[in-house]
Structure 1
Amino acid sequence: MKRLLLPLLTLMLISGCGEEKPLATVEQVNLEQYAGTWYEIARLPQWFQRGCYDSSATYSLNDDGTVKVVNRCQRQGEDTSEAVGTARVMPDSGNAKLKVRFDNWVSRLIPTITEGNYWIIALDKDYQTVVIGEPSREYLWILARQPQLPDDQYQALVQLAKNKGFPVNQLERNRDLRPSQP
């Protein structure tokens, strides 16, 4: 019996490793209310946002049901950079799960590999704050309609993300990323 139990236990442990805990999203998103400009309050660091501060995202609805995404970012000594993309709603998600693809040479070459998950995991009833993540927990953004968020609201959103398994100890606050003035 012990000979059978040890391999079975090992197999159970191995099969559970690397398995992602499902990521719950909000039930429903009204895309018309969601449209407009959102300011980045905090994010998990990403190579494509290295050096960015004063980041924002503007969403608008396209006639074909997709969402136009315009991300803006400021880098020291540079003009504001812009990345334009398209988000499409995943079926049966209540508009809370989107696939986003930015228009660049890589996405034109291999469209499916450059699509990213954009899941709305928290959204207040007045559409003033939102938390965006994705199942692997490698990407996380806290956004608001205003460039700054009171600390108690920010901490509540961080706690929500922590409870969903995100590495919130790695969060970078947007306002802290501004270069210091001489």
Structure 2
Amino acid sequence: MKLWPVVTGVAIALTLVACKSPTPPKGVQPISGFDASRYLGKWYEVARLENRFERGLEQVTATYGARSDGGISVVQPRL
């Protein structure tokens, strides 16, 4: 058995578990009085720094919605 694929798989699994933290890091306080409902709906991109996953796209939008668990969903269709 080769050790490299096992080490890589374990590293990826640990990274995914660490990224799933539901709480902010120590010392970081969420802002108070934030009204997420004001930001829901369709937003249009005005400007951007070019990146590989939006290369060549025009009229980019993002639609923000309320999730049942209190979070916010984001849908960014590719044109």
With the length of structure 2 as denominator, give the TM-score of the two structures.
0.55
Look up the match of 1:52: 57
How many pairs align? 49
3-state DSSP class of the match of 1:32? helix
Cα distance between partner residues in 1 of 2:33 and 2:56: 34
Match 2:70 to one of 65, 70, 93: 65
Structure with greater strand share of residues: 1
Give percent identity, aligned residues only. Answer: 37
Cα deviation, 1:114-168, whole Å, max 9, x if unaligned, reads xxxxxxxxxxxxxxxxxxxxxxxxxxxxxxxxxxxxxxxxxxxxxxxxxxxxxxx
Amino acid at match of 2:70: G
Answering whether residue 55 of structure 2 is matched by residue 35 of structure 1, we say no
For residues 47-99 of structure 1, the C-alpha deviation after alignment (integer angstroms, 9 at most, x for no partner) is 1001110100000010101111001232xxxxxxxxxxxxxxxxxxxxxxxxx
Q: RMSD over aligned Cα, in angstroms? A: 1.9
Secondary structure of the 2:65 match is: strand
Stretches of 4+ moved more than 4 A in 1?
A: none
Deviation at 1:28, TM superposition (A): 5.2
User: 3-state SS of the aligned residue for 1:73?
Assistant: coil
Structure-1-length-normalised TM-score: 0.25
Cα separation, 1, equivalents of 2:32 and 2:51: 27
Gaps of 5+ in 2: 1-30
Structure-2 change in CA distance of 1:60 and 1:52 (3 Å): same
- On the 8 A contact 1:61/1:67 being kept in 2, the answer is yes
Q: Which has the higher contact order (CA 8 A, sep 6+)?
A: 1
Task: Decide whether the 8 Å contact of 1:35 with 1:58 is kept in 2.
Answer: yes
Deviation at 1:27, TM superposition (A): 7.1
Could you tell me which runs of 5 or more consecutive residues in structure 1 were left unpaired when the two chains were aligned: 1-25, 75-182
**Deviation at residue 29 of structure 1 after TM alignment:** 3.3
